[in-house]
Amino acid sequence: MTYSIELVDRDQEIEAEEGQSVLQALLDSGIDWMHACGGFCNCTTCSIQVEEGMDNLSEMHQDEKNTLRRFEGEEVLDGPYRLGCQAEVQGDIKIKNPGWY
What are the pLDDT digits (tens) for 59-92?
999 999 999 999 999 999 999 999 999 999 999 9
DSSP reduced 3-state for 57: strand
Asked if the model's pLDDT at residue 40 lies above 70, the reply is yes
Asked if the model's pLDDT at residue 100 lies above 90, the reply is no
Q: Supply the DSSP string of 1-47, one letter for each residue.
A: -EEEEEETTTTEEEEEETT-BHHHHHHHTT-----TTSSSSS-STTE
What are the pLDDT digits (tens) for 42-67?
999 999 999 999 999 999 999 999 99
CA 12 to chain centre: 15
Question: Residue 74 is part of a domain; what is its CATH number?
Answer: 3.10.20.30
Residue 67 lies in a domain: yes
pLDDT at 45: 95
Domain containing residue 41: 2-96
Average pLDDT, integer, range 14-23: 98
Residue 101 lies in a domain: no
Number of domains in the chain: 1
pLDDT at 101: 62
